[in-house]
Amino acid sequence: MVRIGFEIHVQLKTDSKLFCSCSTRFLDAEPNTNVCPVCTAQPGSKPEGINEEVLRKAVQVALALNCKIKTEPLRFLRKHYFYPDLPNNYQRTSEPFAVEGELNGVRIREIHIEEDPGRYELRDGTVDYNRAGVPLIEIVTEPDMHSVEEAREFLKHLRAVLDYLDVILYPQIGFRVDANVSIEGGERVEIKNINTIHGVVKALRYEISRHKRMLQMGKEIKRETRHWDEVRGVTVTLREKETAEDYRYMVDPDIPPYHIDPALIEELRAKMPELPFQKKERLMEQYGIDESTAWTLVLDKELGNLFEALAKSVGAKNAASFCTNLRGELNYRGIYLSEVPRRERLEKLAKLYFSGQITKPVYIEYMRKILDDPSFEPQAQEQLSDDEIREIARQIIEGNAAAVSDYKRGEKKAINYLVGQIVARTKGRADPKRAIQILREELERA
Ligand SMILES: [Zn+2]
């Protein structure tokens, strides 16, 4: 039996860092500009106390994951290790503030708050401390997933919950995942720092088949930490598993114990936005769409929003079909709808198609162009006139004697083949309904 669990690090969307008022924007700022004596650990500097905004976001996530939230005083610990990205030589990490949650049938063991280290560039040895002190939460699951598919479904659902709560600092980065995996007869192996859900899926597949091969060969699977090499598509040994003692945890005397006010929990519970599971139920009820379609729509927040906007203009059935096609194209590109610029073009496309101003092949072609080319603008295509269609119909009739005689003998389905020829010849600029009518007329004369 396979057992998979996760530790998921989410950088929280707050204006300022965990223990100082520096901006959290580390990606779109010049290196080492969003820094101060606190987040660079200058001698004599003291942290300013915990950022309330971090607590609010963290509690929102805990509530959405159905956790019990602790209201007793909690402490920050120092986790020691030595690396150039860590100015203090320790990382501050809180005792768990939330425990015993559940999502998608997977138990959430605990959630705690941490500060992110800076960014160390191995190639040239430079360090950027803009990220040092950015608030993180770490969500730890029990090893409750028993297949790569279950693991993927869990991560997709979690990602959707975080998007609905709008708590991810940089949605294009998403979250970082440490995956742990074991199979019957072997020790637990941890794979560190995987950046995408797709990467997690590939890493787990690789690791599970490696474990099976090792056991078949009678080799022992050691407890260790491995690194996922995205480029080569393999995991490699990073280090043998360290123990908690290696980090010399101690209570941070600079940070007074904090506690979460029960009134804050109730306030946030009352303000909780609609979450993916609830939205799925509502879409099924309100628009009469089936469960699997509804689930596909809600797992991408913007796709669910687009569906509801389109349901108003083109009807729920058309909107569902449009969004299902779109989901396929987005999956193929490995992106969320929020990453597509000028999304109003998609609404325009749906209106053009469902009002009959463009044909199906053109609709699919335009959808791909919108996703791949930010400057592309969908337009109603120039439709061929009846006379132009008639001219092409005559040519097709001349060139397909066999299909024509089938039709004349009463094989009415032969007309579909001939219409297909017209659509292909005109590259979709002939309305298929008009083409059928004109073809029938011409076949009567032929
Ligand atoms: Zn700072």
Note the pLDDT tens digit of each residue in 240-259: 656 666 788 899 999 999 88
- d(CA 21, ligand 1 centre) in Å: 6
Give dist(CA 139, CA 123) in Å, integer.
31
pLDDT tens for 268-326 read 999 999 999 999 999 999 999 999 999 999 999 999 999 999 999 999 999 999 999 99
φ and ψ of 367, to 5 deg: -60, -45
93 CA distance to ligand 1 centroid (A)?
Answer: 17
Mean pLDDT, residues 391-403:
89
Half-sphere exposure of 138 (CA within 13 A, CB side): 17
Over 90: is that where the pLDDT of 230 sits?
A: no
**Ligand 1 centre and the CA of 15: distance in Å?**
12
- pLDDT of 343 over the 70 cut: yes
Q: Return d(Cα 177, Cα 197) in angstroms, integer.
A: 8
347 vs 70, 301, 306, 322, 358, CA distance in Å? Answer: 45, 16, 8, 10, 14
Cα(172) to centroid of ligand 1, in Å? 24
Q: Where are the domains of the chain?
A: 2-173+242-268, 285-372, 386-445
**Helix runs in 166-255, H state only:** 197-216
Q: Tell me, in angstroms, the distance from the centre of ligand 1 to residue 16's CA.
A: 8
Q: Between 46 and 59, whose confidence is greater?
A: 59
Is the pLDDT at 163 greater than 60? The verdict is yes
Residues 6 or more apart whose Cβ sits within 8 Å of residue 25: 34, 130
State residue 303's pLDDT score: 96
> Ligand 1 center to residue 125 CA distance, Å?
22
For the chain, what is the mean pLDDT? 91
What is residue 87's predicted lDDT score, i.e. its pLDDT?
87
Q: Please give the distance, rounded to the nearest whole angstrom, from the Cα atom of residue 43 to the centre of ligand 1.
A: 14
Alpha-carbon distance of 6 to 152, in angstroms, equals: 11
- CA nearest neighbour of 207 among 144, 103, 154, 215: 215
Residues in the chain: 446
Summarize pLDDT for 167-185 with one digit per residue, the tens: 999 988 889 999 999 998 8
User: Residue 308, Cα to own-chain centre: how many angstroms?
Assistant: 20
Q: Are strands 106-115 and 234-240 parallel, antiparallel or unpaired?
A: unpaired
Distance from residue 53's CA to the centre of ligand 1 (Å): 16
- Token output for 287: 């628009």
The residue behind tokens 């689930």 is: 295
> Residue 363's closest CA among 374, 375, 350?
350
Tokens representing 81? 């290790």
Rg (CA), the chain: 29
Contacts of 15 (CB under 8 A, 6+ apart): 23, 24, 53
Burial of 249 (0-12, 13-18, 19+ CB in 10 A): middle
Cα of 64 to ligand 1 centre, how many Å?
A: 30
Query: Residue 22, CB half-sphere, CA atoms under 13 Å: how many?
Result: 25
Rounded Cα gap, residues 341 and 279, in angstroms: 25
Taking the mean position of all CA atoms in its chain, how far away is CA 17?
25
Per-residue pLDDT tens for 411-431? 888 888 888 888 888 877 777
Distance 39 CA to ligand 1 centre (A): 4
Residue 356: pLDDT band by 50, 70, 90 thresholds? confident
Q: How far is the CA of 40 from the centre of ligand 1 (A)?
A: 7
SS3 of residue 154 by DSSP: helix
In this predicted structure, what is the pLDDT of residue 242?
Answer: 61
pLDDT given for residue 91 in this prediction: 93
State in Å: Cα 366 to ligand 1 middle: 47
How many Å lie between the centroid of ligand 1 and the Cα of residue 418?
A: 71
Q: Calculate mean pLDDT across residues 355-384.
A: 88
pLDDT at 103 over 60: yes
250 vs 80: CA distance, rounded Å? 9
Q: Which of 20, 79, 10, 80 has its CA nearest to residue 50?
A: 20
Distance 140 CA to ligand 1 centre (A): 27
Ligand 1 centroid – CA 379 distance (Å): 50
Alpha-carbon span 298 to 314, nearest angstrom: 19
How many Å lie between the centroid of ligand 1 and the Cα of residue 208? 42
Spacing, Cα 77 to ligand 1 middle (Å): 19
| DSSP-derived secondary structure letter, 400 | -
Alpha helices in 138-225 (DSSP H): 148-165, 197-216
Which range, of 21-25, 176-180, 340-344, 414-418, averages the lowest pLDDT? 414-418
Instruction: State in Å: Cα 37 to ligand 1 middle.
Output: 6
> What does the pLDDT look like over 72-83, one tens digit per residue?
999 999 999 888
Q: Are strands 224-229 and 189-194 parallel, antiparallel or unpaired?
A: parallel
CATH number for domain 386-445, candidates 3.90.850.10, 1.10.10.410, 3.30.530.20, 1.10.10.10: 1.10.10.410
CA of 88 to the centre of ligand 1 (A): 13
Task: Report CA(95)–ligand 1 centroid distance (Å).
Answer: 22
pTM metric for this prediction: 0.84
What pLDDT score does 82 carry? Answer: 85
Å from CA of 352 to ligand 1 middle: 51
189 Cα: distance to centroid of ligand 1 (angstroms): 36
Q: Residue 375 corresponds to which tokens in the numbers above?
A: 């400057």
> Smallest Cα–Cα separation from 160: which of 337, 417, 342, 411?
337
What confidence score (pLDDT) does residue 243 get? 65
